Structure 1
Amino acid sequence: MGKIFGILVLIGVPLSVAGSLMHWPTLMMFGIYCLTIIALSSFMGRATESLAIVAGPRIGGLLNATFGNAVELIISIFALKAGLIEVVLASLTGSVLGNLLLVAGLSFFLGGIKFKRQTFNVHDARHNSGLLMFAVIVAFVVPEIFSMGMNESKTLSLSIGISIIMIALYLAALFFKLVTHRGVYAAQNENEETEHHEEPEWSKGKAIGVLLLATLAVAYVSESLVHTFEAVGESFGWTDLFIGVIIVAIVGNAAEHASAILMAMKNKMDVAVEIAVGSTLQIAMFVAPVLVLLSLTFAEPMPLVFTIPELVSMVTAVFLAVIISNDGETNWFEGLTLLAAYVIMGIGFYLL
């Protein structure tokens, strides 16, 4: 699989550059851009996996989520610049649904087929559950409710205030998990894993170099991808909502998808769960607020106000993920349940 993605990168990046300069057909370029970003994301995933072996499951999962979300952030910034606010909000919704239902679902399902019962750190799961409830239910639902009695200016002010608080709390959560309480709630299987030495695929220097180069390439291709959304939507009859929730979210989070599933297949559930849930928290508590603040520099600022279908689907996904993960163990049927929920919501957004 690594060789296939390597070939896709070698072919895809030059084709992306040539196609954008020579104005090749939009639908063809949309496919090339998506495949190139997914291939580049696989390299980002392999690089962060190598760093995870050196740094441990918590930091490794955080690194994977961060660089995976870097793709989403880059795409969203260019979409904001183009005035596609609905696509950006929909892509944030898609990231939450994709990570909690698709990524976690595939990880639990495929890992559960290979290993009948898989466990992970229950303390981390419960800590993350509280943050998920806060991030989606408090920080996303509250602006929607309060904005009903506000004008656009006050709604934007509310969004800015919430965004600043969210970023501060997210940084505090990282400080809690990685500094003040690092190792306090370590699971037994996490301690056992450290005894088995595993060699990283790439050295630390090479992994960091690959991450930086892949991120730069993704930034270039993402800017071109954004300009194809309108034409692609008209060709297939897709709404901005569907493009954001499904297409942009899957392409933007390809690195996490591949890495979390790979970790689950190796029975490294602490890393797999940290990638899926940690990425969701980072999207909700850091990426979304940063995009709100960055949008102030563009012609059309973005308030943190989602549509009712987006809010209902995110709240439902959070409740389902919390109930399934709070016991610190999982199996293939729980994974299938999450996947079923994702497909149902995908059909709904397609038909909406």
Structure 2
Amino acid sequence: MGTVVESDGVFSMDLSCDQTPEPVGRSTTPIIPRPTTTTTTDQDFPVHRPTPATTGAGDHCLIDHDNGPCEIQSNQGPRLRFGSRERSNTNDRISEDGFVMVEAENAIEAQKMEQNSMFGFKKWKSHLTARPLEQRSEVVRKLYEEPKTIQPFVSTLGVGNVLYVILFGWWISLIYVLVGLLMFVTIIGSDYGFFCLRLAWYLLWPFGKFVQKKSEEEVLGSNSSKEEVDTPILEDETIPIAITRGISKSSDSTCYLKLSFIIWAVLGFPILVLVHLVTIIITGFLVVFIPISKMNVIMIKQVLLLPPKKLGIKPTRTWNRSNAKPREMIMCSYQAVNVYYYKYTIDGINIFIVNMLPIVLAALILGYLNIDGLYVSQPTIFVLALISFIPMSYYIGMGITSISAQSSHAVGAVINATFGSVVEITLYISSLFKNNNEEGICYDDLVKSALTGTLLATMLLIPGISMVIGGIKHREQRFNMHSAGVSSSLLFISVAGAFTPTIFAKAFGAIECSDCSNNTNTSSGGFSCLECHYTVAGTKEDTKLTEQLNQLVYTCTALLPLAYLIGLIYTLKTHTFIFDTQHGDGKGHKPIVLWGRIKSGIILLVAVTVTSLCAELVAKNIQPLLTSWGMSEMFTGVTILALAPSIPEILNGIQFARQNNINMSIEIGSSVAVQVCLLQIPILVLVNVIFDNMHFLLVFNDIHLWSVILSVVIMNYIFIDGKSDYFQGSVLVIVYAILIAMFFFAPKTACI
């Protein structure tokens, strides 16, 4: 093993013991001086982290600049092999067969990657553990930095800064001026009046300036006739109290300053806090204005609590780093807009998903308090509840993946089977309980269309969009044909089992006509009928065929979960090698899990409950969409109800494709399609048996049947060569658009 030697504050590494000599051309261990200063600020020295240094033979040595010991760590850490011949990032390596070897950062991420490649697990892109900022790109690091970095020669004239003045700066400054005038009126609060005027000028254009807390020397230097020291009143050093020495009536001065602070706390401070809170909410929703949100948070937490005479605002060109003292700097801003904040996350959740949580709250409040449309219309509640599925699906997915990655494969498989389709199932069951023919709406046809739309989206839209985006960035991508073959086989079984009752019903159906007349007055002559329709087995008039059809439905729904179980055993136990997973036994640092098992379980249960409430609102308020707006049950089901819960899967598929991992993008679509047939449909049939009033008959229309069969054939034909590009993806997307157009122009049919 290698050793680390310290000499005169410098670390060096000795590899002469039992390590393979360093090959020519490879970088050697960096020599990094140990900082000797005990009290430093972030501006003086960067925070030193353990630095990986190559020691030869594929090992890594972690050099801790603070503690000294060296730990040799095997480079054969957790990694996975996915189907692509191009490198997805600098940490990946190419295997002999041309697949990318993706190295996991820790054991939790390795478990997630392994389960991503397995059947029956939700494919998840987002990280489950905290990633050190020093290991991320400079663009991402800037997103999480506090606005305290001084850059004296940076231009502040930009479109984003001008937009800030137009949208926020002028009215915030105006309110500060009004509050300052109010402080002047009180006379006693005049110090805070000047305080507000200075901040008003700063907030109109805060760019290229820094705010600092003045030191005692600076305060005394600015007022040579008085010597002031801080005397705390409420156990907080930020309480603005100063006592002037040399004045005989010091108690009167103390009372004066106490009264000044009370006036500020009652009249000025609450108004300005409210202004900043409104600004934080607006800029947070706009995402790209998050730098302004951070600035306003600092204004509430620090600036507004400063003693008036300790507020310092100066241009950055006057900053002298050599004379800077610890904790002087409060904030410094250069830009109001950063377009890369779409990557920003809060507790592992993307900022856009977090911003959608108020929509969920609004949907629940308005939906269950809106009696007879007193406050808002039914379409408004429908839209709010439908949008709520997007963040709830994301939180459910994050919870499922977090628990699975911290548990065994068996526990993960049970969690995924139990909660993987909970959004869709709650939506479908809530719709079916509305009963058929209520106000002329066929809710069972709506649910069947939603099931069909989910299959079309997962077989055509998700892989199609992923191939287009991935093909544009990487030209050609390769995927694992072995795992794709397993998914295709399960998909064939799923479609066959789900649509066999439909084929049976169509085979023994007939065309029935009414109001017919014989034009030739002969028994073999032609008939003219006013109304004809196709009758399938299973209607109330055909009791015998109905009984046989129900028995077939129960048989198929009993065999479908069995196929799901066999698929789990095949991929998790007996044939794991097919999915090309490779893991090493290297030891890494203990990961910081964003969501522990308990936290994930609580969030998962809360998200499932909220999803059920939103599903009830969707089913309750969908009637105007189908009657007043003239949209058919078929088109509404295959588009709106099918796509809303699938948006997280679409985004995950796109992210995987951009990182040259098209294999995961394809597996996302296949796994969801298999779950629809092997889990969702059997559960709906089971619920229909328990509750007789649902009237759910597993017989699809011809348009449902043939669109799914066509999608399965085209998808398997596209995947036959194990390669993908933007052309193949475009074919899938165009076919999907054609089928959706067919549903749009399809006439409304009678309920079965």
Alignment map for 1:82-97 (pairs within 5 Å): 82-83=434-435, 84-97=443-456
Code of the residue aligned with 1:43 in structure 2: it is Y
Alpha-carbon distance between aligned partners in 2 of 1:88 and 1:334, rounded to the nearest angstrom = 30
Q: How far has the Cα of 1:287 moved from its partner?
A: 0.9
- Which of 667, 687, 692 aligns to 1:274? It is 667
Greater helix fraction, Structure 1 or Structure 2: 1
Pick aligned residue for 2:618 from 215, 225, 239: 225
With 17-26 and 85-94 compared, the bigger mean Cα shift is at 17-26
| 2:742 alignment partner, one of 340, 348, 351 | 348
Distance of 2:660 and 2:415 partners within structure 1: 19
Look up the match of 1:13. 361
Q: For residue 69 of structure 1, what is the amino acid of its counterpart?
A: S
Separation in 1 of the partners of 2:422 and 2:386?
A: 15
Cα RMSD between the aligned structures?
3.0
Identify the residue that residue 168 of structure 2 maps to in structure 1: none
Q: Is the 8 A contact 1:91 1:245 kept in 2?
A: yes
The alpha-carbon deviation at position 14 of structure 1 amounts to: 3.6
Opposite residue 114 of structure 1, the aligned amino acid is K
Match of 1:71 in 2: 423
Question: Do structure 1's residue 285 and structure 2's residue 633 form an aligned pair?
Answer: no
Deviation at 1:51, TM superposition (A): 6.0
- Per-residue deviation at 1:201? 7.4
TM-score (norm 2): 0.43
Amino acid at match of 2:547: S
Matched-pair contact (CA < 8 Å) for 1:119–1:328: yes
Offset from partner CA, 1:2-46 (integer Å, 9 cap, x none) = 222212113422433333322431111111111111122233344
Partner deviation per Cα, 1:30-76 (whole Å, 9 max, x = no partner): 1111111112223334445656776899x999977974522111101
Which of 568, 577, 594 is equivalent to 1:202? Answer: 594
CA distance in 2, matches of 1:142, 1:50: 37
Which SS does the other structure have where 2:582 is aligned? helix
Change (3 A) 1:184 1:225: same
In structure 2, relative to structure 1, the CA distance for the partners of 1:279 and 1:52 (3 Å cut) is same
Q: Counterpart of 1:202 in structure 2: which amino acid?
A: L
Instruction: Please name the residue that 2:396 is paired with.
Output: 44
Unpaired stretches in structure 1, ≥5 consecutive residues: none
What residue identity is the alignment partner of 2:564? Y
Tell me which of 305, 314, 322 is aligned to 2:708. Answer: 314
Match of 1:249 among 625, 642, 648: 642
Structure 2 match to 1:118 = 477
- 2:327 is equivalent to residue 327 of structure 1: no
Which of 551, 555, 571 is residue 157 of structure 1 equivalent to? 551
Change (3 A) 1:14 1:273: same
Alignment of 1:17-28 (within 5 A): 17-23=365-371, 24-28=376-380
Matched to 1:120, the amino acid is: F
Residue 103 (structure 1) aligned with residue 497 (structure 2): no
Distance 2:475 2:585 in 1: 23
CA drift of 1:265 comes to 2.2
How far is 1:165 from its partner? Answer: 0.9
Q: Select the structure that is richer in strand.
A: 2
Tell me the TM-score normalised to structure 1 length.
Answer: 0.88
- CA 273–18 in structure 1, closer or farther in 2 if over 3 Å, else same: same
Q: C-alpha deviations, 1:116-164, integer Å up to 9, x for none? A: 222222111111112222221x224431222242432322221111111
Q: Return structure 1 stretches of 4+ with deviation > 4 angstroms.
A: 46-57, 59-68, 192-195, 197-201
Which stretch of structure 1 is more off in the superposition, 30-39 or 3-12? 3-12
User: Partners of 1:232 and 1:193 in 2: how far apart?
Assistant: 55
Share of identical aligned residues, percent? Answer: 26
Cα distance change on mapping 1:334 and 1:210 into 2, 3 Å:
farther
Please tell me whether the aligned partners of residues 464 and 729 of structure 2 are also in contact (alpha carbons under 8 angstroms).
yes
CA contact (8 A) 1:47 1:202 kept: no
CA distance in 1, matches of 2:653, 2:370: 37
8 A Cα contact 1:159 1:304, kept in partner: yes
Task: Report what 1:139 is aligned to.
Answer: 497
User: 1:62 and 1:111, CA in 2 relative to 1: closer, same or farther beyond 3 A?
Assistant: farther
- In structure 2, the residue corresponding to 1:17 is in which secondary structure? helix
Change (3 A) 1:191 1:109: farther
Tell me the SS of whatever aligns to 1:203: coil
Change (3 A) 1:141 1:12: closer
**The 10-residue stretch of structure 1 (197-206 or 41-50) with the greater mean CA deviation from structure 2:** 197-206
- 1:208, 1:263 → 2: CA distance? 26
> 1-side partners of 2:418 and 2:657: how far apart?
19
Q: State the Cα distance separating 1:243 from its structure 2 match.
A: 1.3
Alignment partner for residue 486 of structure 2, among 93, 115, 127?
127
Work out whether 1:238 is the aligned partner of 2:631. Answer: yes
Supply the AA of the counterpart residue of 2:632. Answer: T
Residues in 2 aligned to 1:320 and 1:61: alpha-carbon distance in whole angstroms? 29
User: Any conservation in 1 of the 2:363–2:388 contact (CA below 8 Å)?
Assistant: no
- C-alpha distance after superposition, 1:211-260 (max 9, x if no partner): 33222211111111111222211132111111111111001222322222
Q: How many angstroms apart in 2 are the aligned matches of 1:193 and 1:91?
A: 43
Q: 1:93-121: per-residue Cα shift (whole Å, max 9, x none)?
A: 01100111111111222222222222222
Secondary structure, in 3 states, of the residue corresponding to 1:168? helix
Distance in 2 of aligned mates of 1:281 and 1:259: 18
What is the CA–CA distance in structure 1 between the aligned matches of 2:668 and 2:415, rounded to whole Å? Answer: 9
Residues 285-335 of structure 1 show CA distances to partners (whole Å, capped at 9, x for unaligned) of: 221122112111221442221100101100011111111123333222211
- Tell me the equivalent position of 1:295: 688
Contact 1:44 1:255 in 2 (8 A): no
